[in-house]
Structure 1
Amino acid sequence: MFEKRQRFGLVKLLDLELPTWQADVRFRGRSRLIACAVLETDAGLILIDPGPTSTLKTLESALTPLGGLQAVNDVVLTHIHLDHAGCVGQLAANLPEVSIHVHPIGARHLINPERLIRSATRIYKERMETLWGAILPVPASQICAIADGTLLQIGRRALRACYTPGHASHHIAWFDDAAGVVFAGDAAGM
């Protein structure tokens, strides 16, 4: 049913003209803990919730059969918690043309992550770096603050933003209406 590229940790979730993949980033060396959705478009790749910096090398390897990290044009975030978005500062540094799509509340914490880092360090203490890796700021020029109901058109792919506060005040679920799929982040109680 699903096409697997196990060597790279990719599983095709939707076999459409423009496929959707899941890249298992093997958090702490374990599978099925954190995954990034990878959407192919005619304008490059979209990453949804690329994960922490500590797993970025695994994500880079997973993207190899799809053109590698350099094929990424857009990063779409459901929210900015480190397990979903910890690596976006590093991605922005590596890919200065990439656009990061995020809730306005989350945007300010990506531009200046000091408060996010302080808060997470209170919880994770000395394990912070090992668990999540380095948390870098994202240049404001790469941030696209998304309003509720925004239709994000990237090539022939369209994602509709729906504010879903609860797990985080800045949470967004992304609907791919054409495919009949929602990228819910942690809004579904997972």
Structure 2
Amino acid sequence: MADSKRVLVPLAQGCEELEAVTIMDILVRGGIEVVSASLDNNREIHASRGTVLVAKTTLDAVKDEDFDLVALPGGLPGADYLMQDARILEILRRMHAQGKYVAAICAAPQVLREAGLLDGHKATSYPGVLDQHPAKDMQYVDAAVVEDDGIVTSKGPGTAMDFALALVEKLRGKAVRDDVEAALQRPPCH
């Protein structure tokens, strides 16, 4: 389809499964291709609460491909592993420089900070992740989802659906977001 969109969701060991699954599920419901990628050759991801997720591919296999958005699930130690991965930082910087969306939830906005993408921007995160260690001239916003200059951040597991729906809206428009949300039988909160 002409307006097909692709999203990369890197899955690190110890990621927050509710966030990872919610992001992937809502994006697929919005007609978006989701490519989940493990950081190494072990595609079996043991998430923070013990759930086992299986990535479609590895980061090395897709790191040079084109995506419209990269969405980082949080959770610890998953977000720390993302932050320590030079390939993730390079992908984030490249995509932001190309005017594409970068998104992170919970503890993962620290990865955006590490990549230098939050300098001078508004952002949110799980309490304590960014507000105590902000980027240069960053404004911490206590909101479920914060969007600023192609950067989308969110607070945590409880805001994962709001976050994922915001990503659908960014890539496919408000009408598609509203259709996805209505089918979920969830009262709109916007």
TM-score band by shorter chain is 0.3 to 0.5
TM-score under structure 1 length normalisation: 0.35
User: Higher relative contact order by CA 8 Å / sep ≥ 6: 1 or 2?
Assistant: 2
Higher strand share: 1
